[in-house]
Amino acid sequence: MVHVLDVLSLCRVCGYDLGGGWNEKLEPEYEVCPCCGMESGTYDQWLATIVRYRANWLARGAPWLLPRLRPANFDLRKQMEAVLELDGLPPHPNRPDP
């Protein structure tokens, strides 16, 4: 099972590895995801906003914010595996859903 503390560098919307996002003290670093455009600390603090942002993004065809960073072998389903598993858990232990 994936634990939220193991994937703090992943975008919680699309699973892209931001290399940052949240630090070990669970403080947001306001990284903007080049894939889905989500900003850590803005849309990913609560599961409800993550799910809503993701649904809107997917409905628009999951466009990359910075298409030049899109890998040639990009596989959205594979990239999203860990975050979809996390959706069953509170997004951050000290931040309960509103």
Binding site residues, Zn ion, CB under 5 A: 11, 13-14, 16, 33, 35-36, 38
Q: Cβ of residue 35: shortest distance to Zn ion, in angstroms? A: 4
Q: Cβ of residue 38: shortest distance to Zn ion, in angstroms? A: 5
Looking at the Cβ atoms of 64 and 95, the one nearer to Zn ion is 64
Looking at the Cβ atoms of 62 and 95, the one nearer to Zn ion is 62
Cβ within 8 Å of residue 33, ≥6 positions away: 11, 13, 14, 16, 18, 39, 40, 65
Determine contact, residues 81/10, Cβ cutoff 8 Å.
no
